[in-house]
Structure 1
């Protein structure tokens, strides 16, 4: 298929491009960026008018939960990737906390096959660090890397044993992959359901202290430094974690961190109404933590944005706050929330925001895409920065409807998503087939 995306503001941070231009796509790859109308004039092409809109590399989410196999009531690869497409994402990295856990070559191959058969966007498997994510014995990391795992994580669970994590970092480095760490001291966090602070006291809910995250962030940094391996910190949520990462990067440690939209848009005060859609791990933190995350992004201490999309059934989230599962369904509202918190506040430039959702995650995990370079895969997202929508569940694609943002009016929405030259979403509508 040939496509011509005309007249948009093309932003490609990987190549330092920010200009009004056309993007011409042929045979699933970027053929030209610039004034390509003459080249395309003699051909039958589909033309997408992007006048007044952003045309950027397809968004990449390096942290989401697709639940399949074993959790299909919460989400499926089909539904989760439709949600991704609607959110402007052309690629997602699936965490391994499925049932069974993706801790073997078989698990990786299953995910790839299901994504090929039912997915709307690219799906990259993340393999488990330990067998069954039990934290006790390393999984077959080399086998998983050889068949397509792009990173390793026990996300959803910390790796409690330092010796196992140190060994995992060494093995991951040998196969050219990155460890993604869920930083949580299980004893400090035990039975906690929200951030430990003023609001947990007022609401009578058991709190999770910031130290539960920070202790493990410090451990991962020291272990990575000791073996000279890279490490990526998932869902950074506290001011202390930002400072630890800042100091480590100044020392030359190869550590990166990601921030999720809900940790920028909400604080622990949002739990006041006991809405279980605000229950997430790590929990919504205090305002000082939210401001520290923004400052960390502004300074380049934190360089990646990710959703931590964690869908659950309505029945699970309808439980009492203490017993409801952690997680927010985040793929479909991520971009406008980032726009609200990072662009409208002047925290980041548009180019910086685009980089944190495209080239930065692509480079960190060695993924294809993240750029509009000629010859690269034609993964493209078109954003209407003037479009305003009120978040509703009408048209919602994820099976998990556990979002605290229903009723919020947000500006700047993805309107077209193109994966490998194929239009999968246009005018906010999913394209079938």
Structure 2
């Protein structure tokens, strides 16, 4: 009985002590839990907990209006001011009648690759122009280009050749410079070529532009009918570069008709009306201006605007100058500003120049003049951004 009493007493004591130990154990753990919550909320705010960071892609600002500069294949790529241009159009690839393309040797390809490398530093796009007035094989480019785009097989081959070249050389697009469609059949074939090329380039995020004849006679200031386009074609391209110069060849030779302001006014009005009637965005229209001077004496060669400024910087504000025993006609600083305003007032997407390598260096650069006029035309010249991937 006594042993049984002792046993019961011992059990009760063990149970009592175990309860105390268990209580201490749970109290300690709860205290630790409470302490952890306090650290998270009171002593270390959520803002102090830094998630892993990822480097953002480089974002480059892009101008709302384009400034497109053609550059000839023999030009030293180092003379071009890429920082002012949104696009450089390298000129030219020459079409063959069976749909191939030719460049002017290894030197042209080297210049193209240098142009691409330099343009990339300024986030400037580089496109390749196909066509032009003269062909590398001699004579006009017209018969070669016509043959290539008339036959569906050679037309597709030319599209594929240009697309493959653009991808391989890391270009941003292709420019069509067919000078010029002279019949309804030419216009139809050119439209078919543009549509097929657009279908290839646009899914690859590459642009398509086309250089077009002014369509206005420099003397009569009326529409010229011998150059023909299908207006629907302009829906398939991103830029329509209007060659609003070389009016000196209309009727009898007259150097003063190179590209005077009244001539340009008529050109701008013509293309504005056409695009409004066709309900095509006028932002696609780009007004072209000359960076060269035409001599009164046709036996004397043209000179660059750069040469005129090197002769005398004061010539920047003029449109005519006497040099080499003749008078030259050109577009100086003041006229370029007026033409830029004219284009923008009509809703054009920007300006084009032929060609960048003919410009003056330094404070009298026409590229800088036009760039400044485009920038000053809007309180907010930056309309959108492009994300440049870091490789």
When normalised by structure 1's length, the TM-score is 0.44
- The higher-RCO structure (CA 8 Å, 6+ apart) is 1
Larger radius of gyration: 2
